[in-house]
Structure 1
Amino acid sequence: MNAPFPKWPQIMVVEDDMLVSAALEIALESKHCRVLGPVATLEDAHALLDASNPDFALIDYRLAATTTEDLLASLDARHIPTCVLTGARASELPQAYAQCAVLQKPFRLDALLDALRQVRPG
């Protein structure tokens, strides 16, 4: 359960809560993942996606007054597995998020790592 993710060197993190994004960054790096970001806006997320090749994305459902549905379409087009972080239940999210792993906030590190393993490519 505590093994690193050797096939997942780059995880894109899109989260507008600084405490959550810092905790994610620390936790992922402790598991030998390289964190891209974190970024807190859709504009920065799209720029990061354009400039990098993440193996996986962790995205907050809601960033300020908008959602990440637009970003999700870009991630889907590039076949990047995505886990959505949200305070809502998975059933409350729009249909566009149906193929994503969903972690309801607050969550434990073990739950995050389990979600990553479930959708890990290869």
Structure 2
Amino acid sequence: MSDLLLTGLTVLIAEDDPLIAMELEDLLTDYGATCLAPVGSISSALTLIAASRFDVALLDVNLRGERIDPVADCLATVGTPFLFTTGYGEDGLPSAHRHRPVIAKPFSASAIVSALARHRPS
């Protein structure tokens, strides 16, 4: 199905919509990535960041009514790259992280895969 563009990449998915989270996980594994169990809350994301190793994160900007800012700040502090997934546009992004890559919702499979392939750590 794919040429496994994401082989060797471990991804954290922070998404509170279970269907979107499952679709992302399926898509990424189809392209060779390993996904940590998707998280749907800020506290779960912060716990997973502290306890796990991964290469990159996909962050919805709003998890159950809470802004993703603490998660983005934590990832920036530890030097882990991340991309935002959002339907809110640039104004919905944490102001300190507006320079980060954004994948607009609704997104296509090719948009997700190509963005991760472009922004994967070396």
What's the TM-score, normalizing by structure 2? 0.91
Q: Is the 8 A contact 1:17 1:40 kept in 2?
A: yes
Which residues of 2 match residues 5-20 of structure 1 at below 5 A?
A: 5-8=6-9, 10-20=10-20
What secondary structure is seen at the aligned counterpart in 1 of 2:36?
Answer: strand
Q: What are the ranges of 5 or more consecutive residues in structure 1 without an aligned counterpart?
A: none
- Where does residue 98 of structure 2 map in the other structure? 98
CA distance in 2 between counterparts of 1:37 and 1:100 reads 23
Larger relative contact order (Cα-Cα within 8 Å, sequence gap ≥ 6)? 2
CA distance in 1 between counterparts of 2:91 and 2:43 reads 27
- Where does residue 33 of structure 2 map in the other structure? 33
CA distance in 2 between counterparts of 1:61 and 1:25 reads 18
- Where does residue 4 of structure 1 map in the other structure? 5
Q: Is the 8 A contact 1:14 1:37 kept in 2?
A: no
- Where does residue 22 of structure 1 map in the other structure? 22
What secondary structure is seen at the aligned counterpart in 2 of 1:48?
Answer: helix
Deviations 1:52-103 (A, max 9, x none): 0110001100012211100001100111110111111125423222232101
Identity of aligned residues (%): 29
- Kindly indicate which of the two structures has a greater share of residues assigned to strand: 1
CA distance in 2 between counterparts of 1:90 and 1:118 reads 20
- Could you say what the CA RMSD is over the residues aligned between the two structures, in angstroms? 1.5
What's the TM-score, normalizing by structure 1? 0.91
Q: What are the ranges of 5 or more consecutive residues in structure 2 without an aligned counterpart?
A: none
